[in-house]
Amino acid sequence: MAIKSGRDLLFKTIDEIGTLYRRKEVSPVEVTKATLERLDELEPKLNAFITVMAEEAILQAKEAEAVFLKGETVGKLYGVPVSIKDIFNTKGIKTTLGSRILQNHVPEEDSYLYTALISSGAIIFGKNNMLEFAYGSVHPDYGQCNNPWDVNRTSGGSSTGSASSVAAGIGFASIGTDTGGSIRLPSSYCGLVGLKPTYDRVSRHGLFHLSHSLDHIGPLTRTVRDNAIVLESISSKTVNFNSIFTGSIKSMKIGVIRSLIDSDEIHPEVRELVNSAIKQLAELGAEVVDVEIPELETINEIAFPILMSEGSYHHRKWYPERAADYAEGTQIVLNEGFKVSAVSYVEALERKRAFADKIDALFDHFDVLVCPTSPSPATESDPSFEDTTYDYLQRTIPFNVSGNPALTVSAGLTASENLPVGLQFIGRRFEEATIYRAADTFQAATGGYKRPLI
């Protein structure tokens, strides 16, 4: 196969890479080697990986090259380099969860997610850095993952390395987890498309749970269409998004969650960019109407008793005996989780069901809801539960509680610091296709993915 050199190759879409493979203009081996070289170049600045599987990736790439040379028909992810958050079990390959407790843990079975990617022919070349156990804070043994838009800032939490690496052109996609916003917030900080699918759209078998009632698995990519390709490959039920990208949202009814835009804690440039994006959606033909959801004001009363009690439950074999091995922030939230009463937990579950019903009812009137993803651009350090300067989960965690699919796409860059800001699309349960269509139309109209200069 002919070789195409240059960094631009690493920022192609998944479809574009697949077309080059099928035309035999570029080899999966060359793309994988370029990906690993890019990783080596940037890893000291980004700290986006815990484990790199270079040898395994090259072997997979050689097998993929042979398949393409034979002209065999394969799926869309075949031969495409993809990384995964280091929270998914990988048989025979270290799975640390960014923790000291599991620093040498090697699972005896694969997660559903890893198996699905291998079956798709994706080349899994690394496992990404993350907040410890996807929870309180980064463990000092692993260190903060930095943002390719500004390496003096965080890439967000908890799917930190997933977002940072894809934004920087190290792989074409990554898979993360989202319990309160852990796919969407880092995607917002890094200018990516991040999807939290409908609850249980992707099997959680072989995932170490933070909160089994709120955990979701989903893809982080540079374009909406790439995101749809990855979801097709990892969804537990067969989906096909080939025909949904019409390029039109005319007559689509969009509900704007105004309280999440106009609240006091939101960064003024986030508000400006999101309002501009909503205006753009209207100009594209959507019917845009403000909607109020009063229950959002008390969402933490539902979410945190569930998240914190289930979080502590999943650590009961280590905590408090190994409390000193956790990062300080993780210790704090685990300790608090053990204090949640059974009555509070059950009451929160009941309120969770009632909240989900109210969100479902909104979709009798709207096709999509929109709001900002984060109240601010990327911060200098990782967000944490101890930081009460703003509620960084307020715009994301409601849809973990309800189980609706929610996707973030870049609304643009701040004028003051050239940092990405996320616009979030929320849809009916199991109707990812609708939010994909809306977000794709918006992304195309606003110039597509914008690369950091790193």
Helix, strand, coil percent values for the chain (each to nearest 5):
40, 15, 45
* Structure confidence by residue, pLDDT tens digits, 69-105: 999 999 999 999 999 999 999 999 999 999 999 999 9
* Structure confidence by residue, pLDDT tens digits, 9-65: 999 999 999 999 999 999 999 999 999 999 999 999 999 999 999 999 999 999 999
> Would the CA dihedral through 87, 191, 188, 371 be positive or negative?
negative
Among 174, 171, 151, smallest CA distance to 453 is for 151
Give the global pTM: 0.97
Which residues are bridge partners to 90 per DSSP? 93
Catalytic residue list: 85, 158, 182
DSSP string of 254-297? EEEETHHHH-TTS-HHHHHHHHHHHHHHHHTT-EEEEE--GGGG
Domain 14-300+340-445 has CATH 3.90.1300.10: yes
Pairing label, strands 406-413, 287-291: unpaired
260, HSE (Cβ side, Cα atoms, 13 Å): 32
Pairing label, strands 173-178, 81-85: parallel
CA 88 distance to own-chain centroid: 14
Q: Determine the pLDDT at residue 392.
A: 85
DSSP 144: P
* Structure confidence by residue, pLDDT tens digits, 85-94: 999 999 999 9
* Structure confidence by residue, pLDDT tens digits, 166-197: 999 999 999 999 999 999 999 999 999 999 99
Cα–Cα distance, 111 to 57 (Å, whole number): 18
Cα–Cα distance, 314 to 312 (Å, whole number): 5
